[in-house]
Amino acid sequence: MSDCSDPAGTVGAFLCRAGQHLRAAAIENPRLEARLMLGAAMGREPSSLLGATRAPVPPVAASRFASMLRRRQAREPLALILGRQGFWTLDLAVSPATLVPRADSEVVVEAALASNLPPSGAVLDLGTGTGCLLLAILSEWPGGFGIGVDLSPEAAALACSNARRNGLEKRCAFFAGHWADAIRSSFDLVLSNPPYIESAAIPSLMPEVRVHEPARALDGGPDGLDAYRLIVRALPRLLKAGGSAVLELGLGQAPAVTGLAEAAGLAVQGSHADLGGVSRALVMKKPFGGSASGR
């Protein structure tokens, strides 16, 4: 790594100064983020810069990097600056119209894949955003087909673009709508990462989230459960008998959402924790021949 002794105008000098600026802006991994941005500005793999600290940075790349650095110092999410984010095995485009996919949400995918559902099944993703959950499942289910719904037409269009980006466009469709209001089919699997942050907690979120991600995808109402009430009420008609739903949860929400599911006649299969030990995904099933009904 450079100690800022590399000649001016070189990769090492740019990385060192940028790391200092990002550290001052309270960015957690300043040198890594600087390398990711400079790699993008230069059109090179970030890892290739590690052994090229004395390579010159072309003026056009330097200007591009300076713009990226200013945006990150203002606490714009790195993924929005780069225009992309990795999720599961996918490379996804991101935009201000959606949440940036997070590693915690991969627990939803893991839980769904562990639910012993047919890999040729039909999948519904409510509040699809970038399409990350649906597309991750379809990448593992080569015979599956899915529908993603989002209130934002811009988000639905981005998810459609991400399906093409990952070669999955023939096995899914995306629509703008209010949750499942327009859905009349039933599915083997229903997924959702709904807004679950309590309204009063929104102002205390980190700037990357509070300022740059859409409020409609964050605000879960006074107790954080508004979207769960709507979704769980619809699950009995959306799920085939024996079908499963997997919902992402916020911190401490597993008991409340479990209660909603049981009141709707769904059998709760359990929750899956993320790497931080938080119960992050709740799995529920519509019983065969059961009495599950929207109540």
| pLDDT tens-digit series, residues 132-179 | 999 999 999 999 999 999 999 999 999 999 999 999 999 999 999 999
| pLDDT grade for 295, boundaries at 50, 70 and 90 | very low
- Provide the pLDDT for residue 241: 95
196 labeled binding residue:
yes
How, if at all, do strands 90-93 and 122-126 pair?
unpaired
Report the predicted TM-score, pTM, of the whole model to 2 decimal places: 0.91
Angle at 253 between CA 248 and CA 257, to 5 degrees: 75
Res 197 pLDDT > 80? yes
Q: Which of 248, 261, 238, 243 is nearest to 111 (CA)?
A: 248
How, if at all, do strands 145-150 and 172-176 pair?
parallel
- Provide the pLDDT for residue 69: 97
Exposed / middle / buried, residue 285 (Cβ in 10 Å: 0-12, 13-18, 19+): buried
150 labeled binding residue:
yes
130 labeled binding residue:
yes
Q: Which of 100, 91, 93, 127 is nearest to 209 (CA)?
A: 100
d(CA 59, CA 41): 10
- Provide the pLDDT for residue 2: 42
Edge to edge, the sheet with strand 172-176 lists 172-176, 145-150, 122-126, 187-192, 239-248, 279-285, 267-273
Res 17 pLDDT > 90? yes
| pLDDT grade for 290, boundaries at 50, 70 and 90 | low
Measured on CA atoms in the order 173, 126, 96, 248, is the torsion positive or negative? negative
Q: In sequence order, which residues have a C-beta less than 8 Å from that of residue 35 and are 6 or more positions away? A: 15, 46, 49, 50
88 labeled binding residue:
no
Give the total residue count for the chain. 295
195 labeled binding residue:
yes
- Provide the pLDDT for residue 86: 96
When the pLDDT of each residue in the chain is averaged and rounded to a whole number, the result is 94
CATH architecture of 84-285: 3-Layer(aba) Sandwich (3.40)
Beta bridge partners of 49: none
Beta bridge partners of 173: 147
Backbone angles phi, psi at 191, to 5 degrees: -120, 150
10 labeled binding residue:
no
| pLDDT tens-digit series, residues 211-254 | 999 999 999 999 999 999 999 999 999 999 999 999 999 999 99
Res 278 pLDDT > 60? yes
d(CA 128, CA 133): 7
DSSP 122: E
CB atoms within 10 A of CB 138: 23
116 labeled binding residue:
no
128 labeled binding residue:
yes
53 labeled binding residue:
no
Share of the chain above pLDDT 90, in %: 90
| pLDDT tens-digit series, residues 68-114 | 999 999 999 999 999 999 999 999 999 999 999 999 999 999 999 99
